[in-house]
Every structure is written in C-alpha cells, then in structure tokens.
Amino acid sequence: MFSPSPQTLGILVAVFILATLLIRRALLPKPIPGIVYREANAKKILGNAWELLQWKKKHGEMFGYLANLAVELNEPVFQIFVHPLGKPWVIVADNREAFDILSRRTPKEFDRSRFLRSLFMPLVPEFHFHMPTGDQWKAHRKLVADTMSPAFLGGVAGPQMWKSTMKLIDLWRVKERLAKGRPFSVSTDIRKAAFEIIWAATFGFDSGSTSAQTELLETLPEFTNLPDMDHEVHFPVAPDPPVFKAGLALNDAMNIGVQSLVPGLHLWLAYNLMPSLRAARSLKEAVIQDMIKQAINKFSNQTDLNWEDQGNLKRHMKSAVDIVIAREIDSARKEGRTPELMSRTVQDELFSFMLAGNEIFTLTAWTLKFLTTHQNVQKKVRDELREQCGAAVERGDAPTVSEIMSARLPYFEAMIEESTRCGSVTQTNIRTTMQEVNILGHMVPKHTEILMLNNGPGSFMPPLSVDEEKRSESSKGTAGKIGQWSVKGMRDFDPERWLVKDEEGRLTFNPNAGPRHSFGAGPRACFGRKWAALEVKIMMALIVWHFNLEPTPKPLSSFKPFPGVAHRPEMIYLRLSNV
C-alpha cells in the first residue's frame, strides 16, 4: 500500500491549497475599472447575489436593495456582482440620464437586454420584444403594428375589454351580496379578468373563466355562517377552461427564470421536461393554430380590405388574430410572395399578448389598493367620471366604450399615472451596451447589462448629485424639459402632482410633470403600452362606476409586494358596496 512521505504529503497539501486559492480567485467578481462598488462584495464569490436574495425574501422584491445601495454609495452609477464568472451589472440611479439612454442612445449605443432575451427565448423565440433592434425586429413588429392602431383599439379591442369587464362586475355583484359587507380577496378575479380580456381581444372569443365563476356562485344559497365583519369571506372556485389554465401556467412559469441564476437554461428545462408545462404548451399551440386557420379561411379570398377605412376594418376585424392574418395576406399579395401564416413568428407574436397580462394585472391591483386606502381620491375619480359621462348617468347605465375613451378625465389619468409610479409597476429598465459607452463619465465595456432604476433617487429618494459636465450632450440638451419631484412627499400617493392648469384655467394632465419610465421610452419602449392603458382605463372606470371600494381592515391591507415577474401586491382585498 502506498504511503506518501512527509515531503510528498506536504507538496500535495500545498498544491491543493494553491489550486483552491486559484479557483476562488477565478470565481471572484471582476470589477469594471473606474466604477464604484461595495468592496466587501468584490471579495465574495456570490458578490451581491446573497444580499439580493435575502432582501427579496424579506421585502418581496429585490430592486429596493439597489435603490438603497445607490444612497449608501452616494453614486448615480455603480456596479454589482450577481453571477459567478459573469460580468458585473451597472446600475444607473439618475432619471435624466436613464431617459437619455432609453430615448436617444438606443439602439446605437444600447439595445434590448440579453437577460430579458434569456427569459423569453425558451417560450416565444420569435417574439419581437426580446430581439435586438434590426431588420428581423422591424419585420416582426410590423406584423402586429395594426393591433395598436386607434381603429383596432377603439373598434375591436375596446368593446371586448368592456364586455369582459362587465362580466367581472357581474361576478363582484354576486360576491358583494354573499359577503354582506365583509372583505374578500380579488387577486385571482383581477388576474383572470386581465387575461380573459386579452384573450377575447386577441382571439375573438370568450374563454368563459369569469362567467363560470359567476354561475357557480349564483347557485349558492345565502351564506349563514359568515365570519366577523373584518374577516375575509372565502368562495368556492370554478374550474378554468383547459386552454385558459394552460395560458396561465405558461405565464406563471416565467417566475422560474426570474428567480434563477441561469434563467434561459432553467426555463428551457422546465418547458421541455415538466409534464404539466409540456402539455400546456402543446394545448396552447393547438388552439392558436386553430384560430389562425379560421382567420385564413375568412380572409384568403378577401380582396376589398381598405386599410385606410376604419369602418371597413371594423366590419371585418373581430380580433388581433384577424388583423394580423389579414395584414400578412394583403402584404404578401402586394409583394408577390407566399404569405407565412402558420409560421412560428405569427404564433409567438399572437401568444405574446397573453404575456402582457402580468403588467395589466399588476397595475390594476395597485390602483385598487391605492383607491381603497385613499378614499378622497376615489371620490374625486368617481365624481369626475360621472360628470364627464353625464349621458350614462341620465340613462342609469354604465358608460359605453366610446364614452369612456372620449371623456376628458385629467384627474382619472393622473390617478392611473400615480398608481403606476407608487406601485413601481416596472422597477427597472434594462439595456445592454452595444459598444464601449460613457455613462456620467464612467467607461462601460461592450455587452454589459445596464439597469436603470425607477424606484430610487429622484423617484422616492432625494436625487444624487451629478456633475452636469459629465452628462452626454443629448442629456444636457433636455435640462428642465421633464419636471423633478419635490423631496417632501416623494413617497406619498398624490395624483395632483401630475396636474397643471392650461391657458383657460382648466386642470390638465401633464405627462412631463416628473420622471415616468415604467413602460420604457424611445424606440424600444413597451410595444403594448396603448393597449395596456386602454384596458386599465376601461376596467377602472367601470369598477369605480359600479362600486364603492370601502376601507379594508389593517391585517388585509398590506402593501408588501409578491415576488415574481411583475411587482404586484401580495394582498388584494376589497370590501364592496354598490354605488
């Protein structure tokens, strides 16, 4: 049996120690020269990752950690280390410079984040949102561009949004009657309603989820064993239609990537190896293909479409799938090519509308919480709505889609914008550097992830000092064009911060009253922001029209966020009474 000599043993131990030290050194973060970082984190293999996870565990989100770190370091540009062997992430905590990057320096110097690409590629590889700016991105975006047109939103999507929201109103009427003044959770109701609205506007038919829940509750007798007035009421839940359930499951799976150090690989494994997700994806694809085939049959021989005639479009178009397929057939005919109607591109672009449901659900949830907490704001919103939709008041009915869309509602708009701001619906915008760039005097290498905070200094904390000479030339030229919030009351929910008086003395919503980057800015701003804005407007207008959102008990009123893709509240309880 081999017995090493003391000298050999000493050499082996030394080699082991040296190898361990070399491996550890290789795994330690490699800071970008000239950019501030917390030195203690650079000496840890996990860098800032462990602290981020601990913050998320305690607070339900992780971007508050970055906002506080900006204040601690007293620097508007700093770096963090989140992946062993990965490049540092650079954080920008200055609203003006962030807006400049998003609106004027994209896509030449900055472009769509590689991190976001890793989240969406495994499920929707041909979705334009995650693609780098270029010919492929332009072609894909053009394919669905008509879905954001005034004609489609006002004539097709809007009416579908109205119908689906009224089904939610019907459900809540039944719950309000059964609860007898007690609070109940509406998280699932809002989420399903947001997705059902998108489903109906995208594919032209009702999934039946909300109606099934209403029908179930209508069969129940009056509740006789109700809890105390400040305790929640629980309701039985109707099963969702299989395809609707599949869409929600695929959407939920995005959280796997958000919470992973290797999101792309983790999501690919989940979608391909988890039986439930494989089945959900197969069902989703089968239904979308069937909807596309129906649209192909409808428009294959249609030669009289006039894309400039809104009335003509309204007669023919009943959904997003209609307008996408009709546009592709028309474009192919004019260009002398074969239309690509069953392609992965068409399928991914159509399903992508469902992915937008997270943001709509999130914004609606925060808005309901703020209106419940701030009863005076709720009253002003309702009073303005009823004043501007006087014809509906006289009819004793809900305002129509056209009445809601055409009404002048500056306070209502300000309330939605303030809910977006205070709810931190999007806490950060992410871009990747396309070349070596200068950010406030700091040189950042190519292919570095840049996170621009929407929840930090200048938004909810006093702005950090910035040397104006270090700003980019385009940033210098925008000084004073967008307002800055007063330090006093920055964290307060106050819709009036967005209001100014016009030349006639009327209150007007001012979108430039302060920083607002929740939907991004510039050429890569959120494609579906007009859709989302209209859906939230219709939902909130009809909810406030029909119900008083009464105060909820403190134990059911927490504003702690739920960890996931979107920054939404963990608790969403309502105590309703009819207006």
Q: What is the mean pLDDT of residues 8-16?
A: 71
- CATH code at position 209: 1.10.630.10
First to last CA, the chain: 90
Dump pLDDT digits (tens) for 88-111. 999 999 999 999 999 999 999 999
In a domain, 385, yes or no: yes
Torsion on CA atoms 448, 452, 453, 456, rounded to nearest 10 = 100
In a domain, 456, yes or no: no
Q: What is the mean pLDDT of residues 498-518?
A: 90
In a domain, 356, yes or no: yes
Q: Give the separation between CA 302 and CA 316, rounded to whole angstroms.
A: 10
What stretches of 48-133 show up as alpha helix (H) in DSSP? 49-59, 63-73, 95-103, 114-120
Let me know if 343 is exposed, middle or buried by CB neighbors in 10 A (0-12, 13-18, 19+): middle
Dump pLDDT digits (tens) for 404-415. 999 999 999 999
Say which residues have a Cβ less than 8 Å from residue 183's Cβ, sequence separation at least 6: 230, 231, 232, 233, 552, 553, 556, 573, 574, 575
- The answer to whether the pTM exceeds 0.85 is yes
Q: Give the separation between CA 193 and CA 118, rounded to whole angstroms.
A: 28
CA-only gyration radius of the chain, Å: 26
In a domain, 329, yes or no: yes
Q: Starting from the edge strand earliest in sequence, which strands make up the sheet with 89-92, in order? A: 77-80, 89-92, 449-453, 428-433, 110-112
Q: Which pLDDT belongs to residue 305?
A: 61
Alpha-carbon separation of residue 536 from 125, 194, 329 (angstroms):
28, 9, 32
In a domain, 399, yes or no: yes
What domain range includes position 394?
145-423+514-578
Q: Which pLDDT belongs to residue 578?
A: 92
Residue 107: cis peptide before it, omega within 30 degrees of 0: yes
Q: What is the mean pLDDT of residues 145-159?
A: 89
**How many CB atoms are closer than 10 A to CB 312?**
14
Tokens 């008990």 sit at which residue? 553
In a domain, 568, yes or no: yes
In a domain, 326, yes or no: yes
Q: Which pLDDT belongs to residue 312?
A: 61
Percentage of the chain modeled with pLDDT above 90:
60
Q: Which pLDDT belongs to residue 313?
A: 58
Answer yes or no: is 526 a known binding residue. yes
Say which residues have a Cβ less than 8 Å from residue 205's Cβ, sequence separation at least 6: 319
CA-nearest of 368, 482, 483, 383 to 419 is 368
- The domain tally of the chain equals 1
In a domain, 182, yes or no: yes
